[in-house]
Amino acid sequence: MKRFLPGALLTSAALTFAPAAIAAFPEKPITLIVHFPAGSSTDVIARTLAAEAGQTLGQSIIIQNKPGADGSIAASEVARAKPDGYTLLIATNSPMSGVPVMRKRPPYDPLKDFTPITDIGRYSFFLYARADEPGDTLQDFIQHIRKHPGKLSYGYGNVTGLLSFAYVANASKVDILGVPYKGEPPMINDMLGGQVDAAVATSGTGMPQVRAGKLKALATILPVRSPNAPGVPTMAEAGLDGFPIAPWLGLFGPAGMSADVVDRVDAAFKTAMEKPAVKQAMLVQDFIFTPSTPGALRKLVTDQLDSHRMLLRATGLEGSQD
């Protein structure tokens, strides 16, 4: 009569369970954490993609908005989650490139604590000023700041907004106060109310106010003009060249996700990006899809860490936050 050790039974059970569990994925709804508030461009993009990807996967993808701390609250939660594919993060360069360089003690390592799934795309960011500010060009606004050193302010609801204006102020040698916000919608509201004078923000939150005549777009930080706003010059065309930051969006999970689960989630989101209705929704947000392999997303994170470090060092913001 053969004898079996209890440990061998457990090992055998684990080996037979793991493939079965992966084969059944997903068996329950998936949580997609967004580090911006409801109504922001990232929230709209996430909800649009989640609705379609959930249909492909056969399970709902539930959005949880957890804004604040430049996205590090949301990213930290995903970094601590089980790597089973049921907790995902849709993240910009704010938590994945900015926080690791700006913090004295970063709460996570973007390369070690996450599983890259796919690059999603690029935002169209613009530098906005209130419509009642003098001048119609970026150089006009810079001259206005020079005439009132320390008296004007800009808002920022993400790291891209902070770095972009820090770059403008550093390159132009002007004194302007930065005011942090938990996302772009409250910042835009304060601009409209006269509490702040300018901001760098996405097209989805700022351009409706431009069309309403309440704000004006002075430049885009993209390397080429936006097809949705061809009359707005690039930073280089407006007299400020060399901006190194790419306002990107990617999909991540906790470190240690299985390749099979990554492939399924990746395929579902890429299928969503091909849907005509989704593409049309992205035109409204002025957002461009740039899907990629997990490896290409990892390289993007690596490259952008270097770019953020270079810019933050030049502006004195590297390691500036506790």
231 pLDDT tier (thresholds 50, 70, 90): very high
Predicted local distance difference test score (pLDDT) of residue 307:
84
At residue 203, φ and ψ (nearest 5 deg) are -65, -40
Is the pLDDT assigned to residue 178 strictly greater than 70? yes
pLDDT (tens digit per residue) in 123-159: 899 999 999 999 999 999 999 999 999 999 999 988 8
As a whole number of angstroms, the distance between CA 34 and CA 36 comes to 6
Residue 11 binned pLDDT confidence (cut-offs 50, 70, 90): very low
Mean pLDDT value of segment 222-250: 89
Quick check: do 28-122+247-314 and 125-220 share a fold? yes
* In CATH, 28-122+247-314 is 3.40.190.150: yes
Look at residue 37 and tell me whether its pLDDT is greater than 50. yes
Q: Which of 50-59, 226-235, 249-258 has the lowest mean pLDDT?
A: 226-235
What CATH fold (topology level) applies to the domain 125-220?
D-Maltodextrin-Binding Protein; domain 2 (3.40.190)
pLDDT band at 224 (very low <50, low <70, confident <90, very high): confident
Domain boundaries defined on the chain: 28-122+247-314, 125-220
User: Of the given ranges (12-16, 18-22, 114-118, 251-255), which has the lowest mean pLDDT?
Assistant: 12-16
Radius of gyration of the chain from its Cα atoms, rounded to whole angstroms: 22
Angle between helices 159-172 and 138-147 (to 10 degrees): 70
For residue 322, pLDDT beyond 80: no
Q: What is the mean pLDDT of residues 5-34?
A: 65
Identify the pLDDT of residue 4: 41
> d(Cα 14, Cα 283) in Å, to the nearest integer?
47
Residue 297 token pair? 């997303």
What is the structure's pLDDT at 50? 98
Peptide bond into 180 cis (omega under 30): no
| Percent above pLDDT 70 for the chain | 91
pTM of the model: 0.79
